[in-house]
């Protein structure tokens, strides 16, 4: 933030179609100096499918493959999604003006929800084999330990709504790959988020992240078309970021 060069790093977490992208746009309009990183869904829908150096054989929609044949493609999906999130996190943000980095960076989901929500859920649902889950956890833990503070987050913004609300929003959005998603899957993911971020009963293997503060934001009601509700949510985020900055980056006193 400001001249000290350190940004406060937050992840925006929540169920499928809860409203993360919509919320991220609102953050962008409210805090134009923040750096916002969207989830790389488009990359998952169009994975270069190889071929030779001379000729590519096109691309694969890994998101669709994972939903159509989860037992076959879940492990591949989780390696690719986690790698794409890690690349986005490690990529240097563009400087706002020379010498003035962004005060806050917000990532839509994270390498932590990749593991403690999605991969964990796929394992518990039987779509990741015990061996695949063990291998995933091995490289995930190794990589993140090697990266140390570069892979750490200071806090989480958790958008929370009832799974039924998410299903309604998901149907309204009508992303073609998600046509087969049922309420039960959103209930499972809701439970994973709650155990990880609220109840804290999920075993988390990284001390910083385990103790990172969580701001729970209730988005069950429509905030998209309600300026007053938007104002309340943005004020909550600003207060959270300000307090977190004072706590975690005390040597960088610049205001947000
Ligand atoms: N608070 C809200 N109330 C009503 N509809 C919403 C709200 N937030 C998002 N939506 C709508 O729900 C759908 C999914 O939102 P989106 O932001 O794409 O979710 P996510 O990024 O979490 O998957 C979109 O059609 C969006 O317009
Ligand atoms: N199996 C996994 N699926 C994931 C993961 N991260 C996102 N997703 C899916 C869920 C949605 O269908 C789509 C985009 O998510 P939004 O909530 O942003 O709409 O991708 C994951 O790690 N594993």
The strand pairing partners of 104, in sequence order, are 8
Mean pLDDT value of segment 105-119: 98
Alpha-carbon gap, residue 121 to 148, rounded angstroms: 25
Identify the band that residue 7 occupies on the pLDDT scale cut at 50, 70 and 90.
very high
Identify the band that residue 53 occupies on the pLDDT scale cut at 50, 70 and 90.
low
Whether 3 has a pLDDT exceeding 50, the answer reads no
Residue 108 a catalytic site member: yes
Q: Which ligand is nearest to the CA of 161?
A: 1
Model pLDDT, residue 52:
65
Alpha-carbon gap, residue 16 to 140, rounded angstroms: 23
Tell me: the pLDDT tens digits for 157-190? 999 999 999 999 999 999 999 999 999 999 999 9
pTM of the model: 0.95
Specify the range with the lowest mean pLDDT, choosing from 61-65, 223-227, 241-245. 223-227
The domain ranges of the chain are: 8-248
Model pLDDT, residue 44:
98
CA 254 to ligand 2 centroid distance, Å: 35
Q: Tell which atom from ligand 2 comes closest to the C-alpha of 85.
A: 22
Homologous superfamily (CATH) for 8-248: P-loop containing nucleotide triphosphate hydrolases (3.40.50.300)
22 is in an annotated binding site: yes
The strand pairing partners of 168, in sequence order, are none
């Amino acid at each position: 933030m400001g001249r000290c060069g350190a940004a406060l790093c937050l992840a925006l977490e929540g169920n499928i179609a809860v409203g993360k992208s919509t919320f991220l746009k609102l953050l962008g309009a409210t805090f134009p100096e923040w750096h916002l990183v969207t989830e790389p869904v488009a990359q998952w829908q169009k994975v270069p499918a190889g071929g030779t150096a001379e000729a590519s054989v096109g691309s694969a929609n890994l998101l669709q493959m994972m939903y159509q044949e989860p037992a076959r493609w879940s492990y591949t999906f989780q390696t690719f999604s986690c790698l794409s999130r890690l690349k986005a996190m490690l990529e240097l943000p563009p400087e706002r003006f020379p010498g003035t980095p962004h005060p806050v960076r917000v990532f839509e989901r994270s390498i932590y929800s990749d593991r403690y929500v999605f991969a964990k859920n796929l394992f518990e649902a039987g779509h990741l084999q015990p061996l695949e889950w063990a291998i995933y956890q091995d490289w995930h833990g190794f990589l993140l330990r090697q990266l140390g503070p570069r892979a750490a987050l200071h806090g989480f913004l958790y958008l929370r709504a009832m799974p039924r609300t998410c299903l309604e929003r998901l149907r309204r959005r009508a992303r073609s790959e998600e046509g087969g998603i049922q309420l039960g899957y959103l209930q499972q993911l809701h439970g994973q988020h709650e155990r990880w971020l609220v109840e804290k009963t999920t075993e988390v293997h990284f001390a910083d992240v385990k103790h990172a503060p969580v701001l729970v934001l209730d988005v069950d009601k429509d905030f998209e078309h309600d300026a007053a509700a938007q104002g309340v949510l943005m004020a909550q985020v600003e207060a959270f970021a300000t307090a977190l900055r004072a706590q975690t980056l005390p040597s960088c006193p610049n205001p947000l």
